[in-house]
Amino acid sequence: MSRLLLVGATGLVGQSVLQQALANSAIRLVVALTRRPLPSHPRLLNPVVDFDALPEAAPWWAVDAVICTLGTTIKKAGSQAAFYRVDHDHALSVAELARRHGAQAFALNSALGADAKSRVFYSRTKGELERDLQTLGYPSLAFVRPGLIGGHRVESRPAEQLGIQLSKWLKPLLPRRYRVVPAERIAFHLLGAALAGRPGVQVLMSEDIV
């Protein structure tokens, strides 16, 4: 692979993907779309964009593969509609434009329980994104579905942190699916899927990442 597009580079998993991608000699250029500038790097192209008005003809859409770790919380977004716009609509728009310009592989940081028919709004949003990505004609799709994600976040997520602590205390009793997954492990698998570009749709469950 020579060119990788990354969205969500400022998040917990996205930061790890970016670090691993820039350290990988197989990747000539990382194109990271962000709302605010990233520190410069010789192999990083960092377009600062408005995800509600993405430039459709920009030449940097022409990449080999895409990794999407884009996501927010309902609290941060302000409403379910705003959350859906980020976690579904923005991610799908990036996928559409990259595919239109020739991208062959797409790897998504999804979520445990993703299901387009779920009664849980969060899980349904992730499931609908997975479903809709499959209509875009990518030769290779990978959905990585972690449970609780371990690592240091700048933003405060009290409920998530409580869940992580409980998971650590109960680790010997918990099935592997419900254990905390380090962000760098998720990033490793996302990058591996993008690089491999295996034909078809692959789903990697949380227990496989742990």
Which of 26, 31, 8 has the alpha carbon at shortest distance from 183? 8
Does the pLDDT of residue 169 top 50, yes or no? Answer: no
Name the DSSP letter for residue 167: H
What's the whole-model pTM score?
0.87
Which positions ≥6 away from 134 have C-beta within 8 Å? Answer: 141, 201
What is the pLDDT of the chain when averaged over all its residues? 89
The CATH classification number of 3-209 equals 3.40.50.720
Alpha helices in 23-150 (DSSP H): 74-77, 80-84, 91-100, 121-133
In the chain, where the domains are located: 3-209
Does the pLDDT of residue 13 top 80, yes or no? Answer: yes
* Residue-level pLDDT at 159: 53
Which positions ≥6 away from 179 have C-beta within 8 Å? Answer: 147, 148, 167, 171, 206, 207, 210
CB atoms under 10 Å from CB of 24, counted, come to 15
Alpha helices in the chain (DSSP H): 12-22, 74-77, 80-84, 91-100, 121-133, 158-169, 183-196, 206-209
Does the pLDDT of residue 156 top 70, yes or no? Answer: no
Which of 21, 202, 33 has the alpha carbon at shortest distance from 110? 202
**Segment 95-154, tens digit of pLDDT:** 999 999 999 999 999 999 999 999 999 999 999 999 999 999 999 999 999 988 874 445
Task: Tell me the pLDDT band of 52, cut-offs 50, 70 and 90.
Answer: very high
Does the pLDDT of residue 183 top 70, yes or no? Answer: yes
